[in-house]
Structure 1
Amino acid sequence: MQDAARTACVSRELSHSWRYYPELEFSAKTLALCEQHTSIQGQMATDILKRIDDAMQNRAGVWVKRLKFELLFLRKVPSRCVNNWLDAAAPGIEELTLKLPRDDKTKYKFPCELFSDENGCSVQSLCLSICAFHPVQGSCSFGNLKRVNFSWVRITTEESLLFFSNSLALEHLELWFCHEIACLRIPCKLQLLNFLQVGRCSMLQAIESDAPNPSTFHYEGPLIQFSCGDAVQLKDINISIYPWFNLFYYAHKELPTIAPNLETLFLMSADEIGDFYPLIIFQHEKFLHLKYLELAIVGPRTEIGFHFQYYCLVAFLNSSPVLETFILHVRHISLHKMACVFFHPFNHFPCHFL
């Protein structure tokens, strides 16, 4: 009887502790699924969704601060299920992660109005993947939102501007594979924005940022128009251009003007042969504060390309009087393999430290 009593007491304590724990995560790991389980459907998917429903119902009336759904292992998640989960969690949530199955063609429409200030929501971090985000004027104020991470999210140029204009506390912004944005405009209202990362947005043609205090800018994709306004605070730039553009020449010519206080620079480009620019054109540009320089060169095995690329390196070194660290990644490949290079992590390049 004593053992039974102890077990009952512990069970009550654990139940009470779990029901009031501020974080809930639903993923393959927390649901005890094997790594081999992908694109789950049928009865197994129904059972998993019921388990999530039961867990959310047990937390009914108890606010959750951090809620994470990583449901990439399912074939499809009904919109009504997601709506029920978010309805139950919305009042007190501060951090929300919602990653839905990539094969789901329905493209769940995220309920922007549910997490707006008008409904008393205080969400500070929003991470969305594989859904649609369509804010509406008058019901999309996110005054407490500090961090945004969108990947494969359907949001247009106009909708993104509306969203940013009503998220004045935003500090960290990441956009990946958001293919409906043609021009990314960052309004000057975002006084606190210090980190901007944009990658693989196929329709994107320009980035126009008027934010006064960005310190970090990362970009991956084809060459587009960049406008950073008065970027005196910009100290960290990471740019990967693909394919076939003279990125090193562009960076050496433009970045000292765009970011005069730049301290850290990473550049990756394929096929830097282009037209041959005389070394003398680089001499008047200076990176007066650059301390860390990392360059990744991917190009065909051609004599012209070899000489041009290394002339650029000399120019960079001559223009960086306070440089402390220089890392060079070099990989020469055949032309027909060029398109595949950018699917490999950067750390697979052979490294030469100079």
Structure 2
Amino acid sequence: MQDAARAACVSRELLQSWRCYPELRFSSKTLALNEQHTCVRDRKDREILSRIDSILRNRSGVWVKRLKFEFRFLRKVPTNYIDRWLEAATPGLEELTLELPRDGQVKYRFPCKLFSDEKGCSIQSLCLDACSFHPDIGSCNFRSLKRMHLSSVRINTEEIGSFPPNSLALEHLERWHCHEIASLKLPCTLRRLSFLRVGRCDTLQMTQSDAPCLSTFHYEGPILPLSFGDSLQLKDIKISVYPWFNLFNHARTVLPTVAPNLETLFLTSAYEVGTFSSSSWVPGKFLHLKYLELAIVGPKTQTGLYYDTCLWFLFSILFQHWKLSYCTYFIFHLSQ
């Protein structure tokens, strides 16, 4: 009897502790589903969603700091479930992650108006995947937002241009597979923005940032115009244009102008076509570069050309200054 009483007390304490835990994360791991998602095939999605619904009802009205829905393992999630869960999010929420199944169709529209009051002003991190995000003027109050990640999200150029200026605390911004953005322009009012990552946006034609404290820029996609204003703080650049080509010569001629204080540079390219000679480079560039890493992906038949290209690039950098402390290159072969 005493053991049962002690167990009951411990159970109540654990239950109370769980109800006060500041993070709720729903994923295949936290729901005890294996990596092959056999449970999803054996059970109906409705059963899994009902479990989540029950958990959130038990936490209704209880303070939650981090709320994460990682639903890529499901076949589909009805929009009425998502709306109900987001609407129940209590004021004070700081991190929100919504990752929906990627079935090639974006069906869910993120309810910006739900976060137009105190629910939005406390959010510091927002991660959206496989949904649409259409922030009308005044519909979102993300004034405390520091980190934003959009992946496979439907948002157009006008909307992406009007949203960041209202988030003056923004420090970290990522755009990935957002195919309706033709240009990305970040204003000088984003004074805290230090990290920008853009990749695989099919219609993107230009990236422009006037954020004065931008220090890191990562990009993946075809070569396009880059402009960073007077970003003297930009010191870390990583660019991958594979399966596109001819990045090295473009980087050597353009990057010293847009990032004069560059210290770390990673470049990944496919074919490097052209004639290179020591007379084609101009002294006085990459004066602060300390770390350089090059990678070329291509067939074995082009090994000699790739080797010469890498050496040409490396020596053109080394002959300009002596601050470089590390440099290397890799050649990855594709199977024939």
Above 0.5 in TM-score? yes
Q: Look up the match of 1:153.
A: 153
Cα deviation, residue 254, structure 1 = 1.6
Q: Look up the match of 1:283.
A: 282
Matched, 1:296 2:299: no
- Stretch of structure 1 that moved more, 234-243 or 194-203: 234-243
Over residues 74-116 of structure 1, what are the superposed CA-to-partner deviations in whole Å (9 max), with x where a residue is unaligned? Answer: 1000011011111111422100111111127352111112223
Q: Look up the match of 1:110.
A: 110
Q: Look up the match of 1:18.
A: 18
Matched, 1:127 2:160: no
Cα deviation, residue 283, structure 1 = 3.5
Distance 2:253 2:334 in 1: 27
Residues 210 and 282 of structure 1: CA distance in aligned 2, closer, same or farther (over 3 Å): same
Q: Look up the match of 1:165.
A: 165
Residues 205 and 148 of structure 1: CA distance in aligned 2, closer, same or farther (over 3 Å): same
Residues 77 and 120 of structure 1: CA distance in aligned 2, closer, same or farther (over 3 Å): closer
Q: Look up the match of 1:326.
A: 327
Distance 2:38 2:182 in 1: 33
Distance 1:42 1:84 in 2: 26
Q: Look up the match of 1:33.
A: 33
Over residues 41-85 of structure 1, what are the superposed CA-to-partner deviations in whole Å (9 max), with x where a residue is unaligned? Answer: 695211110100010000111121001111111100001101111
Cα deviation, residue 173, structure 1 = 0.4
Cα deviation, residue 304, structure 1 = 4.5
Contact 2:199 2:219 in 1 (8 A): yes
Over residues 195-232 of structure 1, what are the superposed CA-to-partner deviations in whole Å (9 max), with x where a residue is unaligned? Answer: 00001111111001111110000000001111111110
- 1:154 maps to amino acid: R
Contact 2:143 2:167 in 1 (8 A): yes
Secondary structure of 1:5's counterpart equals helix
Over residues 271-326 of structure 1, what are the superposed CA-to-partner deviations in whole Å (9 max), with x where a residue is unaligned? Answer: 11x22133212132421211111110223423555434432221122234201111
Distance 2:313 2:120 in 1: 54
1:1-354 alignment runs, 5 A limit: 1-37=1-37, 40=40, 44-103=44-103, 105-117=105-117, 121-272=121-272, 274-300=273-299, 301-302=301-302, 303-333=304-334
Contact 1:41 1:74 in 2 (8 A): no
Contact 1:115 1:122 in 2 (8 A): no
Alignment RMSD: 1.9
Distance 2:25 2:9 in 1: 26
Distance 1:150 1:112 in 2: 14
Secondary structure of 2:298's counterpart equals strand
Instruction: Report % sequence identity.
Output: 60
Q: Look up the match of 1:341.
A: none
Contact 1:39 1:73 in 2 (8 A): no
Unaligned runs of 5+ in 2: none
Cα deviation, residue 120, structure 1 = 5.7
Secondary structure of 1:329's counterpart equals strand
Cα deviation, residue 333, structure 1 = 4.2
Distance 2:32 2:208 in 1: 45
Contact 1:26 1:69 in 2 (8 A): yes
Residues 328 and 306 of structure 1: CA distance in aligned 2, closer, same or farther (over 3 Å): closer
Over residues 227-258 of structure 1, what are the superposed CA-to-partner deviations in whole Å (9 max), with x where a residue is unaligned? Answer: 11111000100001133432111111121221
Distance 2:180 2:21 in 1: 38
TM-score, normalization: structure 1? 0.89
Q: Look up the match of 1:346.
A: none
- 2:122 maps to amino acid: S
Unaligned runs of 5+ in 1: 338-354
Secondary structure of 1:268's counterpart equals strand
Contact 2:93 2:122 in 1 (8 A): yes
Contact 1:186 1:211 in 2 (8 A): yes
Distance 2:55 2:249 in 1: 56
Distance 1:87 1:108 in 2: 15
